[in-house]
């Protein structure tokens, strides 16, 4: 489900995506290894600046192509509910993510994707600390291991919810249609409406 949500988000932002682990077995080992998606930006404008490390929808126009690794560690034993602050997130990243992240982005066949250079390495994380001291340490550690950017799963979900219009029908997407239905019955609200409430 995590990969599907990220795929929908990228496509809403002008990317075409391609799964890179098609037909894999669902063993624990295969779920932990490798990148999930290749994404190419169809709205990329040449000679724009490099995207910021913390990626939001407004930054994606600066991203030409990416290998996207979706690690929904919010489903692991160390659930997000147990990570109450930046210190908990830092501890989890240092103990579980940093030792695996380089292996996650190993991809020898990148030239077959048609890119002249290795695509950016983007990690999808469940959340990111708001406290600058923890945020800076995580960013620094991930950059040292070759990660070019992070997408927050929370910001992805908020963006998708905000973009779904209850007056539209989304026949090609079960996810968008589900969100539309939830919004129609006021079970989910736009993030701006929640902020103002």
117-176 pLDDT per residue, tens: 999 999 998 888 889 999 999 999 999 999 999 999 889 999 999 999 999 999 999 999
Please provide the DSSP assignment of 171-185 as one string: TT-HHHHHHHHHHHT
- Whole-number pLDDT of residue 31: 47
Mean pLDDT (whole number) for 8-35: 72
pLDDT grade for 73, boundaries at 50, 70 and 90: low
Is 80 exceeded by the pLDDT of residue 89? yes
Report the 10 Å Cβ neighbour count for 131.
Answer: 12
Spatial CA neighbour of 12 closest among 23, 21, 4: 4
- pLDDT grade for 21, boundaries at 50, 70 and 90: low
Closest to 166 (Cα-Cα) out of 193, 130, 138 = 193
Q: In degrees, to the nearest 5, what angle opens at C-alpha 40 toward C-alphas 123 and 190?
A: 65
Please check the confidence at residue 95 and state whether its pLDDT lies above 80: yes
Mean pLDDT of all residues in the chain? 85
> Which alpha helices (DSSP H) does the chain contain, by range?
2-12, 28-32, 86-92, 101-104, 132-144, 153-163, 174-184, 191-196
pLDDT for residue 194 is more than 70? no
Is 177 in contact with 169 (CB distance < 8 Å)? Answer: yes
Rounded-to-integer distance, Cα 176 and Cα 178, Å: 5
């Amino acid at each position: 489900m995590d990969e599907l949500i990220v795929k929908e988000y990228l496509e809403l932002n002008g990317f075409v995506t391609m799964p890179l682990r098609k037909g894999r077995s669902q063993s624990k080992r295969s779920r932990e290894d490798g990148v999930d998606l290749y994404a190419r930006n169809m709205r990329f404008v040449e000679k724009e600046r490099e995207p910021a490390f913390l990626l939001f929808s407004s930054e994606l126009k600066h991203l030409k192509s990416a290998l996207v690794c979706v690690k929904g560690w919010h489903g692991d034993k160390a659930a997000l509910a147990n990570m109450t602050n930046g210190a908990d997130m830092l501890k989890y990243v240092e103990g579980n993510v940093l030792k695996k992240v380089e292996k996650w982005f190993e991809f020898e066949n990148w030239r077959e994707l048609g890119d002249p250079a290795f695509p950016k390495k983007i990690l999808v994380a469940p959340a990111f600390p708001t406290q600058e001291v923890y945020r800076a340490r995580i960013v620094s550690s991930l950059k040292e291991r070759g990660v070019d950017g992070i997408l927050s799963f929370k910001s992805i979900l908020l963006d998708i919810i905000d973009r779904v219009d209850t007056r539209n029908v989304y026949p090609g997407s079960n996810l968008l249609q589900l969100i539309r239905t939830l919004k129609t019955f006021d079970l989910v609200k736009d993030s701006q409406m929640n902020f103002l409430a």
